[in-house]
Amino acid sequence: MQKIIAAKTSDQALLFDEANIIVPIEWAYARLQGQLLVFLCLVMGRFWRDHGHTENSLHYIPQAIVAAEGVATVTHEEADRLSLGHLKLLYGQVLQSIGRLDEGLCCKNYQEKNVSVSSPLTLS
């Protein structure tokens, strides 16, 4: 289903609705809706990377990586592990584009600082 929606979503539509899509991303994060957060950030992460929206990439993709790690740990599904890999690749590409690839370990730092062990972002 993710591939169908992402394939049908044009960049022009995302450009127009980008601010409106940030709201459900923040809602999913605040309510520990890991699968939703991962899906939204996968779609938007590609858009942000391709359109140079670095600030959003640097803020939301690490959150989605943490969520994807939790989801993949719980489900052990190949699709969830692939989502995690895609998010990490996206994040690395963004860091590379701004000359900060050496900061690739910051997702681990982000997790330690902002997501408590007692409230993991996993399945919802």
Which tens digit of pLDDT belongs to each residue from 66-97?
999 999 999 999 999 999 999 999 999 999 98
Q: In a 3-state reduction of DSSP, which class is residue 109? A: helix
In degrees and rounded to multiples of 5, residue 109 shows phi and psi of -65, -40
pLDDT 10s digits, 18-68: 778 899 999 999 999 999 999 999 999 999 999 888 999 999 999 999 999
Nearest 5°: the CA angle 76, 113, 82 is 25
User: Measured between alpha carbons, how far is 67 from 34 in angstroms, rounded to an integer?
Assistant: 5
Using alpha carbons only, give the angle 97, 23, 36 rounded to the nearest 5 degrees.
Answer: 80
Q: What is the pTM of this model?
A: 0.74
CB atoms within 10 A of CB 1: 6
